[in-house]
A and B are shown apart, each in its own frame.
Chain A
């Protein structure tokens, strides 16, 4: 079973920041938080991952709480092309122990 909880859907205005929350209260010390997204029926696309520090890349920022029980993915300036299902996953980094177990994700709708 997925070890994360996400809201089923969210709306965001184009050009505004999209903040997607995720709860992972049972995360263990060696598990990372990963975010993927799936646009329409394409294969899931990797966005970002982190252990305990905040992370930023060209696509998004990841904010992890100090107790690591929740995190937020931030898309700083959402566009219509960011409309997708976003998945938050916890796993060990690499290896067979770290299989990606997907939950239902959050369907983000970016509106003009």
Chain B
């Protein structure tokens, strides 16, 4: 399996609190992605990064921010969590000329 780790794997948080999810890779891949998966919607791209400090929005970026200060880490932050952000979050990594590999996911519940 590709060296990609998501943490935490499960989290329950209260509405209005900030939450940060971490994606860590050991492959030195340039590209990193955050997706969310909800029933009836499939996987949707939130944000992606194409290098250190280089990030861009995906199709469902509202309410989320990201940071990438090191090649190996890509952080997804919910500044003020809402119930609509209850979801399973997947991180993915990709090299310049390679397929993407996915992490095992983080199940986030906002109560």
Interface residues of A (CB under 8 A from B): 34, 41-46, 49, 87, 93-96, 98-105
Contact = CB atoms under 8 A, between A and B. Distances in A.
A107 B85 CA distance: 25
16 contacts: A34-B99, A42-B104, A43-B92, A43-B104, A44-B92, A45-B102, A87-B42, A87-B43, A94-B94, A94-B95, A95-B96, A98-B94, A100-B43, A101-B45, A102-B44, A105-B42
Contact of B99 (A41, A49, A104, A105): A49
B64 interface: no
Instruction: Say whether chain B's binding surface is mostly helix, strand, loop, or mixed.
Output: strand
Residue from B35, B45, B58, B99 with most neighbouring chain A CB atoms (10 Å): B99
B98 interface: yes
A11 B101 CA distance: 27
Given A44-B43, A101-B59, 11 more contacts: A42-B105, A43-B92, A44-B92, A93-B97, A95-B50, A95-B96, A99-B33, A102-B35, A102-B43, A104-B42, A105-B42
Interface string B1-41: 00000000000000000000000000000010101000000
A99 B99 CA distance: 11
Given A44-B43, A104-B42, A96 B99 contact: no
B100 interface: yes
Contacts of A100: 33, 43, 45, 92, 100
Interface in B62-84: none
A103 B105 contact: no
Nearest to A45: B102
A43 B102 CA distance: 5
A43 B9 CA distance: 12
Contacts of B99: 34, 46, 49
B104 A94 contact: no
Residue from A95, A96, A104 with most neighbouring chain B CB atoms (10 Å): A96
